[in-house]
Amino acid sequence: MTKPDVASSLNETAPATRPSVSLFRKRLRKFRALKRGYYSFLLLLAAYGTSFFLPVLVNDKALIVRYEGRFYYPVFHYYPPSTFGQEAIGEPDYRRLAETFREENVGNWAILPPYPYSHTESLLELPGSPPHSPSWQHILGTDDRGRDIFTRLAYGFNVSLTFALMVLAVSYAIGITVGALLGYFGGKLDILGQRLIEIWSSLPFLYTIIIISSIVVPIYIPGRNLLLQPSFWLLIFILTFFNWMGITYYVRGEFYREKARDYVGAAIAMGASEAAVMFKHILPNSLTPVISFAPFMIVGNIGALVALDFLGFGLPAPTPSWGELIGQGMSNLTKWWLVSFPLSALFLTLLLIVFIGEAVREAFDPKEFSRLR
């Protein structure tokens, strides 16, 4: 056999080279293979995305009104009741308006949301005194102020998850930066920083909330006739004030380990700045604990908000809150729907997040794709 024949036969028998797959893609593929966590992520993502369309899906304002040949869009713009011939103060009663249009049958009509009740509306027209038990009109009943529980749970889901994600983002931004500085520079900065964090973490969380809540009051802006409730942003600030320290320890440890790697020395030898070495080279290789602990920090943030609302130091009224509904249930133990539905919503949400956290932790396990196994 000649040399070209040998070369061609070797090329035919040689296995085809496979394109290299990045470590992140391998972890993402592993996460998708964990069906319980992956489907929980899709379900929670779909529910959270849908919650931003609640003003169109769950509201007491009509989507479109055709009245005397003109079209109105109450969900986007306020119209006084006199616009539609109603004698009332405040918002028009669009449910009654749609019923009147159907009875008159003169070409006027109104399209209501699929669930035409608001989270702040007190349903005083219902027979008896609130809270009312579940019915076909109010599938989860009403609370002790006559407000629909389903709408308050739906809006409360958006408030709780948005609050938890914002606290997580700000806490991670501070904690990762501080942990990176302590782990990269070490020495006296690390010793001093650790002592300050230990002192900071010893501050009592609940007492701080009580003191600040008793001092801070709503701010009235006369020019715009606006009452500014600072509690939502204030609670984010307070929880961030305490939450950023947890991730600092993990990032610090990762930076201590990674800064001794050869690629860090190569980046320094090539003239990269310290900021570039820290956040461009070391940080991407130190994100395993950051990503793994994120779902569990979200669980903690939601639990903290529910606990504060339950104790009366959380979001201001009439903000929809799961903790406030659970507090009503504790005051009305014979009204089973006030206890079971808010607790069920909280349980299912936290359960989905925990499933996601378990899948993320397993997918981002550093031992899973390590060459040293």
- Structural domains in the chain? 45-51+148-363 (1.10.3720.10), 61-111 (no CATH)
Specify the pLDDT at position 152. Answer: 94
Q: Taking 70 as the threshold, does the pLDDT of residue 4 lie above it?
A: no
pLDDT of residue 14: 47
Do β-strands 109-111 and 219-221 pair in parallel, antiparallel, or remain unpaired? unpaired
CA 9 to chain centre: 60
Range 204-212 average pLDDT: 77
Q: H or E element: which one contains 169?
A: helix 149-185
In angstroms, the CA 249 to CA 175 distance is 9
Write down the pLDDT at residue 10: 46
- Window from 1-5, 32-36, 96-100, 300-304 with minimum mean pLDDT: 1-5
φ, ψ of residue 363 to 5 degrees: the values are -70, -35
Summarize the confidence of residues 289-306 as an average pLDDT: 91
Segment 101-120 mean pLDDT: 90
Query: What is the pLDDT at residue 209?
Result: 75
Q: What is the percent of the chain where pLDDT is above 70?
A: 88
Detail the DSSP E strand segments found in the chain.
Answer: 64-67, 70-72, 109-111, 219-221, 226-228
pLDDT value, residue 160: 94
Q: What is the pTM of this model?
A: 0.85
Average pLDDT, the chain: 85
Both structure tokens of 121: 């509306």
**Three-state DSSP class for residue 41:** helix
Q: Is the pLDDT of residue 23 over 60?
A: yes
pLDDT, position 51: 94
Q: Which is higher by pLDDT, 335 or 222?
A: 335
Q: Is residue 292 pLDDT above 50, yes or no?
A: yes
Give yes or no for a contact between 312 and 321, defined as CB atoms under 8 angstroms apart.
no
Q: What is the DSSP string of 55-110?
A: HHHB-SS-SEEEETTEEE-TTTS---GGGGT---SSS--HHHHHHHHHHH-SS-EE
* Mean pLDDT calculated for residue range 42-46: 96
